[in-house]
A and B are shown apart, each in its own frame.
Chain A
Amino acid sequence: MTWLWLKESQKADEYLREIQELGQLTQAVQQCIEAAGHEHQPDMQKSLLRVGLEGRAGQGWELSLLLSGSSQAASFGKCFLDRFPPDSFVCMCQDLRVLNAVRDYHIGIPLTYSQYKQLTIQVLLDRLVLRRLYPLAIQICEYLRLPEVQGVSRILAHWACYKVQQKDVSDEDVARAINQKLGDTPGVSYSDIAARAYGCGRTELAIKLLEYEPRSGEQVPLLLKMKRSKLALSKAIESGDTDLVFTVLLHLKNELNRGDFFMTLRNQPMALSLYRQFCKHQELETLKDLYNQDDNHQELGSFHIRASYATEERIEGRVAALQTAADAFYKAKNEFAAKATEDQMRLLRLQRRLEDELGGQFLDLSLHDTVTTLILGGHNKRAEQLARDFRIPDKRLWWLKLTALADLEDWEELEKFSKSKKSPIGYLPFVEICMKQHNKYEAKKYASRVGPEQKVKALLLVGDVAQAADVAIEHRNEAELSLVLSHCTGATDGATADKIQRARAQAQKK
């Protein structure tokens, strides 16, 4: 029938109707398309495929375009069967075009359709690549619209790997040629190509190629393998990936002698600070050497302070470490830290002596707490002496004594102390602390001595609302009046509240 139809025979139409009536038209068309696949002669393929199309004039050209590859498959759709799906037809056209291309005598891969289907396109492409038929392989990829990563990129990468083996071409030219062809093609790994170049002994070329590699994670390990550690280091730093930097650093540390390693670090501040962090946790001694090399006396000072707590246990050792720290601070021109460290040494020795002489726990208490402990233990003289030696400011010393004596509930001593001279912190703290210990009786003693500014507050603290009101009225202070008023509770303070209201009214009149 095909032949009849192709010859535009009238009979064709009759047969066609017959087949259609039998309901086998779809099958017939399908068979024609498949038959085309198994045909080797392009003319014959065309003929068979044409049957798949409506026999209207002007359809033939569409087919030949399809076979020659330039037509859009989408334009197909004029099947003479109303709903015959065009896919199988389009696929066959594409497959045939690929097959015809590789069957060409220049290429010489006479595959049958079945072999091709068995093989898959991927394998066919691999074969082409192995025969270095890169352009054809790429054309096929493009024609079949394969995703770039599986298709074009892969072949370009193969090409590049082949290219790097061409020993007669200079590194410069190879690198440039590769970059020109590959550009930023997604899925191409410059590091893979570079690895190949390195494998062929072309290290310089490999380095050049790595320049095009945007992923530092790929770049750096290869550079390390090629013993270009310093370049690897700067690439790692550029990436910001600290893990990568560490990896290179540890590599460098093994590769270089210590001096060179330190010098390399010195020129890379970011790497240096990372390495310091590493040493802080892993190699304390190296950390010290690093600071020494940089004459970083401030950090050296801190280092020895830390050591005085962490590594030294005996008092002598601790003091010695602190002395080293203080010296470093002096060198760093940090007078304050140096003096403070010396004070600390003094305190440590003293605490040791106190422990020996008085027993109990003094070591590692702060100065403030040492004095407090002495007072709590009843060693007032010693406490005084210590406070003088370390020049504890008067105000803080008063707070300290006040707190300690109240803790002891040594009210007698507290009173004596309060009268020793005029309190630099006023007397409100005395009232507060007595009340905290629930000693209203003692609190009242001090309330009377509180200065006018805080008098109301003190009186309220000891619960003397009436007197507080009197003082507030005397002060004519609105804020104080409100404060007192807010403390007036229940019936007991009723009279006081009235008194305040009257005073307020009077004040308003004026």
Chain B
Amino acid sequence: MAAHLSYGRVNLNVLREAVRRELREFLDKCAGSKAIVWDEYLTGPFGLIAQYSLLKEHEVEKMFTLKGNRLPAADVKNIIFFVRPRLELMDIIAENVLSEDRRGPVRDFHILFVPRRSLLCEQRLKDLGVLGSFIHREEYSLDLIPFDGDLLSMESEGAFKECYLEGDQTSLYHAAKGLMTLQALYGTIPQIFGKGECARQVANMMIRMKREFTGSQNSIFPVFDNLLLLDRNVDLLTPLATQLTYEGLIDEIYGIQNSYAKLPPEKFAPKKQGDGEAKKLQLNSAEELYAEIRDKNFNAVGSVLSKKAKVISAAFEERHNAKTVGEIKQFVSQLPHMQAARGSLANHTSIAELIKDVTTSEDFFDKLTVEQEFMSGIDTDKVNNYIEDCIAQKHPLIKVLRLVCLQSVCNSGLKQKVLDYYKREILQTYGYEHILTLYNLEKAGLLKPQTGGRNNYPTIRKTLRLWMDDVNEQNPTDISYVYSGYAPLSVRLAQLLSRPGWRSIEEVLRILPGPHFEERQPLPTGLQKKRQPGENRVTLIFFLGGVTFAEIAALRFLSQLEDGGTEYVIATTKLMNGSSWIEALMEKPF
């Protein structure tokens, strides 16, 4: 059991258990000792589902990373390839199988496709003459992986690029499949809302898949009331801005991968002498303190930490008051919990210090100022001095691109002259090869010339109240606290959908790309919910193309509002931030 998955309104452990069961069943099909050969990309996500101990229980004795040539020696009966269905991986597998030593002991080969079996890949294996070598060829439908009590991700890195640039909807198909699995476990979701081209397609696929399952009537009482499908390209702005929540900043500065962050070790108490390795910490709501501070604006984290420090040291002081044997015993029984709390506090104090070093730097301040000017609509139509200086000083290209794209999005595209100037500066400074990257950004709508000479952003900003001048970072009253002023557009759309409904913002919805729609999935009368007065609805919100931690924080804020009326469970193709997003769109020809 993973306790942190069952805190929320929807117990995501049910999903985790279901996928674990499926994994065990597969492993048991291949009787005897096993070695797993991993498509390296899968190891991170798998870690959230099953630790090595589970694999070991099912006789997995060795693990290798998939690479060319001959497989490493292993005295096992079964070799199982865990791979994504990709042609280039099939070629490597074939190479492995073909170079198997014929004189050695005979080993059985199996292949487990994640998340889906692929005819294309099997054809490739057949062409390479190895298809017959595999006894079991199965699929493991690991589409949505539970990250936290209210968070699911497909961790599909390329999803945005594939969907919006390359017209490849594979990840949408997986998303629809994942939603079908969720519905099989948590009941049919009676209402589906959506905005965007991809959202429309996922909804269509779901409806179609439901028809394929006719007859097997789902008799589970629905846990989710609504599903909201949102295209990332409906809100290109939000991920570009620097996230200012605690978790968001950790991700911006150090990166969070599969819920782990690697941090520089200096500020942490060394475990042993000469321990110069990066400190790897798992970050999720299983840690009480982290659950409390992760979604706060970073400026509000310090006071919580110092309060916590006082509470903990007071708790340790209690030992002086413990006089009787009974009191001492009670104190001792609390010790493990207190020590864990103290360790957690020490870690987060260190992280907060690391982040503070960055956020108090002059450059961070300058960058934030420019971002905030753009988002509030100031000087978005001319070449920005700060960006120019960043280029001239050759700041990291991703930083520059994020800023230029932000300006472009906040101006509904740049004037041709301004755009060309930036592009020229970037090409001359960072290299002409980036012309491919610039073109990708243009195709994605992130960096483009203004068409029709109209800037729609002010209308959107005003109608959706995207910029709030009076932000309370300590005790927020609005979602805009996550960016210290800017309210994420995507989350605003979700908020307005729940109350008063999208009808009130028809005009803006028409400006934003893609259709908006509503579908109903009728339920048999026995399963229709009678809501208790005051009971919140549960909305599953699916970000197609990625979501940032700041957006998640904003949604959690809405869930916690007393009169909010809606609690959110968040699903996405990828947890990301502006930098990882832009990076995925970059093309490096050499």
Give the interface of A toward B (CB within 8 A).
148, 184-187, 214-215, 238-244, 246-247, 250, 269-270, 272-274, 276-277, 281-282, 298, 302, 305-306, 308-310, 336-337, 340-341, 343-344, 347, 364-368, 390, 392-393, 395-396, 398-400, 403, 425
Q: Which of B88, B216, B389, B420 contacts A336 (CB 8 A)?
A: B420
Q: Which residues of A contact B169 (CB under 8 A)?
A: 240, 242, 270
Instruction: Please state if A243 and B172 are interface contacts (CB–CB under 8 Å).
Output: no
Instruction: Please state if B432 and A306 are interface contacts (CB–CB under 8 Å).
Output: no
> Is B10 among interface residues, defined by CB-CB distance under 8 A?
no
> Is B176 among interface residues, defined by CB-CB distance under 8 A?
yes
From B116, B119, B204, name the one whose CB has the most chain A CB atoms within 10 angstroms. B119
16 pairs, CB–CB < 8 Å, chain A vs chain B: A148-B215, A186-B215, A214-B212, A214-B214, A240-B176, A240-B208, A242-B170, A243-B118, A250-B123, A302-B436, A306-B436, A309-B590, A344-B435, A392-B428, A395-B392, A396-B428
Q: Which residues of A contact B167 (CB under 8 A)?
A: 269-270, 272-274, 276
Instruction: Please state if B168 and A277 are interface contacts (CB–CB under 8 Å).
Output: yes
Instruction: Please state if B429 and A368 are interface contacts (CB–CB under 8 Å).
Output: yes
Given A148-B215, A215-B212, A343-B432, A305–B589 Cβ distance below 8 Å?
yes
Residues of B108-124 whose CB lies within 8 A of A? 116-120, 123
Instruction: Please state if A367 and B428 are interface contacts (CB–CB under 8 Å).
Output: yes
Q: Which residues of A contact B87 (CB under 8 A)?
A: 281-282
Closest 8 pairs (CB-CB, A-B): A186-B215, A273-B167, A399-B392, A309-B589, A344-B432, A366-B431, A368-B429, A396-B392
Interface residues on B, range: 35 or more
Min CB distance A372 to B, Å, is 9
Instruction: Please state if B589 and A242 are interface contacts (CB–CB under 8 Å).
Output: no
Min CB distance A479 to B, Å, is 13
Known: A240-B169, A270-B167, A368-B394. 20 other contacts (CB 8 A): A186-B215, A243-B117, A247-B123, A269-B167, A273-B166, A276-B167, A277-B168, A281-B87, A298-B439, A309-B590, A336-B420, A341-B435, A344-B435, A364-B431, A367-B428, A368-B430, A392-B428, A396-B388, A400-B392, A403-B393
Q: Which residues of B contact A392 (CB under 8 A)?
A: 428
Min CB distance B244 to A, Å, is 22
Q: Which residues of A contact B215 (CB under 8 A)?
A: 148, 184-187
> Is B22 among interface residues, defined by CB-CB distance under 8 A?
no
Number of A-B contacts (CB under 8 A): 132
Question: For the complex, would chain A's binding face be called helix, strand, loop or mixed by DSSP majority?
Answer: helix
Instruction: Please state if A337 and B120 are interface contacts (CB–CB under 8 Å).
Output: no
Residues of B370-402 whose CB lies within 8 A of A? 388-389, 391-394
Min CB distance B313 to A, Å, is 29
Instruction: Identify the closest chain B residue to A329 (Cβ).
Output: B435
Q: Which residues of B contact A364 (CB under 8 A)?
A: 431, 590
> Is B173 among interface residues, defined by CB-CB distance under 8 A?
yes
Instruction: Please state if B431 and A276 are interface contacts (CB–CB under 8 Å).
Output: no
Given A302-B436, A309-B433, A340–B208 Cβ distance below 8 Å?
no
Instruction: Please state if A250 and B589 are interface contacts (CB–CB under 8 Å).
Output: no
Given A243-B116, A244-B119, A306-B589, A273–B168 Cβ distance below 8 Å?
yes
Instruction: Identify the closest chain B residue to A344 (Cβ).
Output: B432
Q: Which residues of A contact B56 (CB under 8 A)?
A: none
A343 to B118, CA, bound (A): 45
Instruction: Please state if A276 and B425 are interface contacts (CB–CB under 8 Å).
Output: no
Q: Which residues of A contact B431 (CB under 8 A)?
A: 364-366
> Is B205 among interface residues, defined by CB-CB distance under 8 A?
yes
Instruction: Please state if A243 and B88 are interface contacts (CB–CB under 8 Å).
Output: no
Map CB proximity to A onto B136-178 as digits: 1 under 8 Å, 0 otherwise: 0000000000000000000000000010001111101100100
Instruction: Identify the closest chain B residue to A220 (Cβ).
Output: B119
Instruction: Identify the closest chain B residue to A371 (Cβ).
Output: B428
Instruction: Please state if B589 and A243 are interface contacts (CB–CB under 8 Å).
Output: no
A305 to B216, CA, bound (A): 53
Q: Which residues of A contact B212 (CB under 8 A)?
A: 214-215
Q: Which residues of A contact B168 (CB under 8 A)?
A: 242, 273-274, 277
Given A270-B167, A396-B392, A240–B427 Cβ distance below 8 Å?
no
Instruction: Identify the closest chain B residue to A398 (Cβ).
Output: B392
Given A336-B420, A341-B435, A399-B392, A246–B589 Cβ distance below 8 Å?
no
Map CB proximity to A onto B551-590 as digits: 1 under 8 Å, 0 otherwise: 0000000000000000000000000000000000001011
Min CB distance A388 to B, Å, is 13
Q: Which of B118, B205, B391, B428 contacts A240 (CB 8 A)?
A: B205
Min CB distance A315 to B, Å, is 14
Q: Which residues of A contact B118 (CB under 8 A)?
A: 243, 246
Residues of B449-485 whose CB lies within 8 A of A? none
> Is B183 among interface residues, defined by CB-CB distance under 8 A?
no
Instruction: Identify the closest chain B residue to A365 (Cβ).
Output: B431
Instruction: Identify the closest chain A residue to B429 (Cβ).
Output: A368
A4 to B205, CA, bound (A): 71
Min CB distance A510 to B, Å, is 30
A301 to B172, CA, bound (A): 29
Instruction: Please state if B393 and A399 are interface contacts (CB–CB under 8 Å).
Output: yes
Map CB proximity to A onto B406-445 as digits: 1 under 8 Å, 0 otherwise: 0000000000000010011101111111011001000000
Instruction: Identify the closest chain A residue to B211 (Cβ).
Output: A214
Instruction: Please state if A305 and B436 are interface contacts (CB–CB under 8 Å).
Output: yes
Q: Which of A148, A250, A395 contacts B120 (CB 8 A)?
A: A250
> Is B222 among interface residues, defined by CB-CB distance under 8 A?
no
Q: Which residues of B contact A214 (CB under 8 A)?
A: 208, 211-212, 214
Min CB distance A278 to B, Å, is 8
Q: Which residues of A contact B162 (CB under 8 A)?
A: 277
Instruction: Identify the closest chain A residue to B432 (Cβ).
Output: A344
Min CB distance A36 to B, Å, is 37
> Is B194 among interface residues, defined by CB-CB distance under 8 A?
no
A298 to B173, CA, bound (A): 29
Q: Which residues of B contact A239 (CB under 8 A)?
A: 205, 208
From A184, A187, A274, name the one whose CB has the most chain B CB atoms within 10 angstroms. A274
Q: Which residues of B contact A250 (CB under 8 A)?
A: 120, 123
Instruction: Please state if B88 and A240 are interface contacts (CB–CB under 8 Å).
Output: no
A112 to B87, CA, bound (A): 60
A309 to B211, CA, bound (A): 49
Instruction: Please state if A341 and B432 are interface contacts (CB–CB under 8 Å).
Output: yes
Q: Which of A281, A309, A396, A425 contacts B429 (CB 8 A)?
A: A396
Instruction: Identify the closest chain B residue to A310 (Cβ).
Output: B589
Instruction: Please state if B392 and A281 are interface contacts (CB–CB under 8 Å).
Output: no
A392 to B119, CA, bound (A): 53
Q: Which residues of B contact A244 (CB under 8 A)?
A: 119
A218 to B431, CA, bound (A): 50
Instruction: Identify the closest chain B residue to A339 (Cβ).
Output: B424
Instruction: Identify the closest chain B residue to A188 (Cβ).
Output: B215
Given A187-B215, A214-B211, A240–B204 Cβ distance below 8 Å?
yes
Instruction: Identify the closest chain A residue to B174 (Cβ).
Output: A242
Map CB proximity to A onto B192-218 as digits: 1 under 8 Å, 0 otherwise: 000000000100110010011011100
Given A240-B204, A244-B119, A395-B392, A366–B170 Cβ distance below 8 Å?
no
Instruction: Please state if B432 and A243 are interface contacts (CB–CB under 8 Å).
Output: no
> Is B255 among interface residues, defined by CB-CB distance under 8 A?
no
Instruction: Identify the closest chain A residue to B428 (Cβ).
Output: A367
Q: Which residues of B contact A403 (CB under 8 A)?
A: 393
Q: Which residues of B contact A186 (CB under 8 A)?
A: 214-216
Min CB distance A34 to B, Å, is 38
A308 to B389, CA, bound (A): 31
A365 to B176, CA, bound (A): 45
A347 to B435, CA, bound (A): 15
From A240, A276, A306, A390, name the one whose CB has the most chain B CB atoms within 10 angstroms. A240
Q: Which of B85, B170, B439 contacts A302 (CB 8 A)?
A: B439
Instruction: Please state if A340 and B116 are interface contacts (CB–CB under 8 Å).
Output: no
Instruction: Please state if B439 and A337 are interface contacts (CB–CB under 8 Å).
Output: yes
A243 to B427, CA, bound (A): 38
Min CB distance B413 to A, Å, is 15
